[in-house]
Amino acid sequence: QMQLVESGGGLVQAGGSLRLSCAASGRTFSNYAMGWFRQAPGKERDIVAHISWSGGTTYYADSVKGRFTISRDNAKNTVYLQMNSLRPEDTAVYYCAADRLGLGYGSSDFEYWGQGTQVTVSS
């Protein structure tokens, strides 16, 4: 089992920034591609960003391109999501997830999930 613990969420005004962290334990972190997902009330859980095992390849949803940056530190077993220029529509619970095979960006591709951290952006 891999345990994932997110932190860094909170309340921020539109235009502000937050940095989410996700600490992993229980498995060899560098063997897993990592993703950040978000889920707003009444909506599906959608991928926000994805990073490969080494960190050399990243993917972003169109809605966050140019504003969010995913990164990882394999020495610290941690993945990050830097969120800038936040908008009210970014309000959601944010989850990190781990994918051993790195095959895709759907939620069903990921084996392990954190408990989520709330991000609220006020207008």
Dist. CA 42–CA 5, nearest whole Å: 24
Q: Give the pLDDT of residue 72.
A: 98
pLDDT in tens, 22-44: 999 999 999 999 999 999 999 99
Please, what is the end-to-end C-alpha distance for the chain in angstroms?
Answer: 39
Secondary structure (H, E, C), 31-86: HCEEEEEEECCCCCCEEEEEECCCCCCEEECCCCCCCEEEEEECCCCEEEEEECCC
Q: Are 75 and 10 a contacting pair, CB within 8 Å?
A: no
Dist. CA 97–CA 90, nearest whole Å: 18
- Residue 111 pLDDT class (50, 70, 90 cuts): very high
- Residue 102 pLDDT class (50, 70, 90 cuts): confident
